[in-house]
């Protein structure tokens, strides 16, 4: 099993190739740039495959982060994953982006850093965060949400918080773990997917998790000027 994992739901453009049989990351690329998802993703895929010394045809499955995340960036990864899956005739698996961050943070140093419940939060813009609560690195408690940090401060009080969203609002997330992974890692996403597949779990469909409407809107009183 050779999994190609990618995620563009956050400012991180991240790609990894994971050997499911050997249980190891073969190659990976991680770049943080919120405005260049479309420009950076395919070169990153080429670079990862080149570093691994394999061709795209060797990939047996695709794993893609489904968000939550901003509309435009999220779609870049999902469309690319769907295109690869169609071209190669291999399955495309979706996973919640927050789950990948939780897995990376929760397994750091053998899990010693986060032995109990914790929170993962990413930046949702508009002074909000996408967030979810976790029992451990592999177990999410409930569905992801989008909220203002102050509105969930009571809910998250006393819990360690990881992710770029938590770092933006340290007064609302009291126990921010800045030393743990802040951004998504396709390597962690692939490792989590491989674990779930090996256990016989059915992974979610690669459908976007937006949680709210796109930032871009049609201006009020917009007039169509196409010729008749």
CA angle, 93 as apex, 91 and 96 as ends, to 5°?
Answer: 175
Model pLDDT, residue 223: 59
Alpha helices in the chain (DSSP H): 37-52, 71-88, 97-106, 149-156, 164-168, 186-198
Rg (CA), the chain: 18
What global pTM score does this model have?
0.91
Model pLDDT, residue 34: 87
- Closest to 99 (Cα-Cα) out of 129, 156, 61, 142: 142
Model pLDDT, residue 188: 97
Model pLDDT, residue 32: 94
Model pLDDT, residue 20: 84
Model pLDDT, residue 148: 97
Model pLDDT, residue 178: 95
CA distances from 198 to 1, 38, 202 (A): 10, 32, 10
Q: Tens-digit pLDDT profile for the chain (228 aa)?
A: 899 999 999 999 999 999 988 889 999 999 999 899 999 999 999 999 999 999 999 999 999 999 999 888 999 999 999 999 999 999 999 999 999 999 999 999 898 999 999 999 999 999 999 999 999 999 999 999 999 999 999 999 999 999 999 999 999 998 999 999 999 999 999 999 999 999 999 999 999 999 875 554 545 565 555 555
Model pLDDT, residue 174: 86
Model pLDDT, residue 212: 74
């Amino acid at each position: 099993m050779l999994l190609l994992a990618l995620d563009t739901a956050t400012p991180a453009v991240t790609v990894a190739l994971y050997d499911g049989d050997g249980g190891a990351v073969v190659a990976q690329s991680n770049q943080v740039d919120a405005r260049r998802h479309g420009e950076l993703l395919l070169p990153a895929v080429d670079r990862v495959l080149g570093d691994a010394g394999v061709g795209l045809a060797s990939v047996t499955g695709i794993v893609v982060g489904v968000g939550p995340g901003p509309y435009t960036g999220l779609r870049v990864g999902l469309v690319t994953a769907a295109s690869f899956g169609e071209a190669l005739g291999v399955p495309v698996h979706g996973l919640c982006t927050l789950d990948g961050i939780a897995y990376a943070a929760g397994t750091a140093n053998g899990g010693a850093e986060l032995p109990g419940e914790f929170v993962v939060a990413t930046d949702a813009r508009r002074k909000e965060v996408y967030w979810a609560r976790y029992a451990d690195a592999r177990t999410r408690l409930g569905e992801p949400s989008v909220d203002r940090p102050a509105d969930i401060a009571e809910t998250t009080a006393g819990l360690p918080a990881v992710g770029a969203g938590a770092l933006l609002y340290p007064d609302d997330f009291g126990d921010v773990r800045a030393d743990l992974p802040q951004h998504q890692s396709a390597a962690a996403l692939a490792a989590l997917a491989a674990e779930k597949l090996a256990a016989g779990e059915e992974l979610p469909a690669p459908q976007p998790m937006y949680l709210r409407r796109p930032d871009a809107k049609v201006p009020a009183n917009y007039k169509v000027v196409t010729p008749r």
